[in-house]
Amino acid sequence: MISSQRLDATFAALADPTRRAILARLASAIPKHLKVLEHAGLISRGRDAQRRPCRLEAKPLADATEWLERYRQFWEARFEHLDALLDEMKNKGKKRVRKKR
């Protein structure tokens, strides 16, 4: 049996048009996004009577992490090289200033 307090809270929440609009938007947006996630293999959906439970699939996220890691290493090496070059240029500039004095 549904508790009276819970039913009161539900109707109080639904009394506000903004909250009803939020519920309507969620109800229409979520299935669309779930389909995209499922198509990408990021989630899998099951069926349990009236429920449609979703499960996070880690493999595609691991693949994306591996792919991103290669680029992180590449750019990190480039930035280290740039830092060294800037330090070298800065040191050459300091030497010129000292010689002029």
| Cα 31 to Cα 49: distance, rounded to the nearest angstrom | 18
pLDDT attached to residue 88: 92
CB 38 within 8 A of CB 45: yes
| Cα 85 to Cα 92: distance, rounded to the nearest angstrom | 11
| Cα 75 to Cα 72: distance, rounded to the nearest angstrom | 5
**Residue ranges per structural domain of the chain:** 1-56, 58-101
CB 33 within 8 A of CB 25: no
pTM, 2 dp? 0.55
CB 45 within 8 A of CB 31: no
**1 has a pLDDT exceeding 60:** no
User: Residue 31 has which token pair?
Assistant: 């299935």
The per-residue pLDDT for range 74-90, each reduced to its tens digit, is 999 999 999 999 999 99
